[in-house]
């Protein structure tokens, strides 16, 4: 038996354990298996032994995940001042933190220039303005330039960053900005992130983008690292094969070509997606002329990916009598008054009844992280599994939490 399989499917989770957790913690609740997070880190490390490996923390910034990954030795890739603060609080040394600015508010840069000085954080700038603004704050530390490679990749237009002008300095301006950065501080790297969702069939776009970074690295010379982003896909569909990490690693190295700088990668979702499931309870079953609507207590404020990216998440009934039930096509709808608040359409499920417990798969990345209070919905709880134990790592919000910031 493979002790660290390339993917953990929703079907692999122990239904009885999940039912016990739902009994103990109610729903909606995210379950996060920290052991699986470690396994994902180990497979990445094994496939990319010679690369700088960072976790793009925005996929899941709960302290439990950050502390777990800190202990595995990976670095932290942060996209906002708040993420840098969380990484420092979780125990990452400054030398292991990279901050990548995307149109950073002044307040972010004030904080970053303070902590970057004290902790030796690498600051990645994605525009000449960001460079000037760091220089204005007297920053002379380690810098990296984010480049827009002009090649996008990803499972949905909304996650393709490589060709979106918002991200990075235009490729043909990169050399000039690198030179400028060398005047301001210590230029240590160049960076690009093409988007999210590198899959087995998608490697040509990935290779094209990495090759452009290799060309640029040779042109500007004298770098410590070339960061080629994250975006390592996970199989959200049950029948999708897992990513062949060794093939991605080989293709990436090959495409980068001969550079003296180290290669740096920064996956986010790959570390955490299949380590998480979302538990939800059926509260309404309604026959309509179009479909059977199954209302549940989790919606777009709990897991927004279906509404935001038309994302697919596997759904499984955790009821013990599932084998005896007939399968029907359902629409799985949340409690929010928005048409987009549908977690799945035309989904075959063992005929749900009120009170049934459901699990939604691959919910460890961009799930809890994107949860909101829209419709004055309290955010869900998060329970971490570790070494056979479970512990509440984020409590469920209650109704009084909703107004706590208001005067």
Ligand X SMILES: *Cc1c(COP(=O)(O)O)cnc(C)c1O
- Say which of 337, 339, 403, 405 is annotated catalytic: 337
Indicate the residue among 101 and 280 with the shorter CB distance to ligand X.
101
Instruction: Please state the closest distance from residue 267 (CB atom) to ligand X, in A.
Output: 4
Instruction: Please state the closest distance from residue 269 (CB atom) to ligand X, in A.
Output: 4
Element (H, E) at 15: helix 15-25
Q: Cα 188 from chain centroid?
A: 25
Indicate the residue among 282 and 366 with the shorter CB distance to ligand X.
366
Instruction: Please state the closest distance from residue 234 (CB atom) to ligand X, in A.
Output: 9
Indicate the residue among 43 and 193 with the shorter CB distance to ligand X.
193
DSSP 8-state secondary structure symbol assigned to residue 342? E
Contact, 99 vs 124, CB < 8 A? yes
Give SS3 for 389. Answer: strand
Give SS3 for 265. Answer: strand
Indicate the residue among 8 and 377 with the shorter CB distance to ligand X.
8
CA distance 66 to 84: 11
DSSP 350-379: E---TT-EEEESS-TTTTGGG---GGGPPP
Give SS3 for 69. Answer: helix
Indicate the residue among 58 and 133 with the shorter CB distance to ligand X.
58
Which chain residues interact with ligand X by CB under 6 A?
56, 58-59, 77, 79, 100, 193, 196, 229-232, 266-270
SS (H, E, C) 164-218: CCCCCEEHHHHHHHHHHHHHHCEEEEEECCCECCECHHHHHHHHHHHHHHHHHHH
Q: How far is CA 191 from CA 95, 166, 171, 210, in A?
A: 17, 14, 11, 10
Give SS3 for 106. Answer: helix
Indicate the residue among 27 and 100 with the shorter CB distance to ligand X.
100
The two tokens of residue 362 are 């691959």
Instruction: Please state the closest distance from residue 22 (CB atom) to ligand X, in A.
Output: 27
Is 337 a catalytic site residue? yes
The two tokens of residue 132 are 């000037």
Contact, 101 vs 110, CB < 8 A? no
Instruction: Please state the closest distance from residue 71 (CB atom) to ligand X, in A.
Output: 20
| Closest residue to ligand X in the complex (CB) | 268
Instruction: Please state the closest distance from residue 42 (CB atom) to ligand X, in A.
Output: 17
Indicate the residue among 38 and 269 with the shorter CB distance to ligand X.
269
Instruction: Please state the closest distance from residue 35 (CB atom) to ligand X, in A.
Output: 20
Contact, 367 vs 353, CB < 8 A? no
Residues catalogued as catalytic: 337
């Amino acid at each position: 038996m493979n002790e660290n399989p390339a993917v953990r499917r929703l079907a692999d989770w122990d239904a009885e354990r999940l039912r016990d957790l739902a009994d103990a913690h109610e729903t909606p609740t995210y379950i996060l298996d920290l052991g699986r997070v470690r396994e994902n880190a180990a497979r990445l490390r094994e496939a990319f032994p010679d690369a700088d490996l960072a976790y793009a923390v925005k996929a899941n910034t709960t302290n439990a995940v950050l502390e777990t990954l800190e202990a595995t030795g990976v670095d932290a890739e942060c996209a906002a001042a708040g993420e840098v603060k969380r990484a420092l609080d979780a125990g990452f040394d400054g030398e292991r933190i990279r901050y990548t600015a995307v149109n950073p508010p002044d307040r972010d840069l004030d904080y970053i220039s303070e902590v970057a000085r004290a902790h030796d954080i690498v600051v990645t700038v994605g525009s000449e303005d960001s460079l000037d603004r760091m220089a204005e704050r007297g920053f002379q530390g380690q810098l990296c330039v984010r480049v827009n490679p002009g090649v996008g990749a990803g499972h949905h237009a909304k996650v393709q960053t490589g060709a979106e002008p918002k991200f990075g300095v235009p490729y043909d301006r990169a050399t000039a900005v690198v030179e400028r950065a060398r005047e301001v501080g210590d230029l240590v790297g160049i960076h690009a992130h093409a988007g999210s969702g590198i899959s087995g069939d998608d490697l040509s776009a990935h290779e094209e983008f990495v090759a452009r970074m290799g060309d640029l690295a040779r042109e500007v010379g004298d770098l410590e690292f070339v960061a080629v982003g994250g975006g390592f896909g996970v199989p959200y569909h049950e029948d999708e094969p897992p990513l062949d990490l060794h093939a991605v690693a080989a293709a990436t190295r090959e495409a980068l070509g001969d550079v003296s700088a180290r290669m740096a990668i920064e996956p986010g979702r790959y570390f955490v997606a299949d380590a998480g499931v979302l538990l939800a309870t059926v509260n309404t079953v309604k026959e309509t002329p179009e479909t059977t609507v199954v209302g549940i207590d989790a919606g777009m404020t709990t897991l927004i990916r279906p509404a935001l990216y038309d994302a697919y998440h596997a759904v499984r009934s955790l009821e013990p009598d599932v084998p005896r039930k007939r399968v029907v096509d359902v629409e799985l709808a949340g409690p929010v008054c928005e048409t987009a608040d549908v977690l799945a359409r035309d989904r075959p499920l063992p005929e749900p009844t009120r009170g049934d417990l459901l699990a939604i798969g691959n919910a460890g990345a961009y799930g809890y992280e994107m949860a909101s209070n829209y419709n004055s919905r309290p955010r869900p709880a998060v329970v971490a599994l570790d070494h056979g134990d479970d512990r509440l790592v984020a409590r469920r919000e209650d109704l009084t939490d909703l107004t706590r910031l208001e005067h």
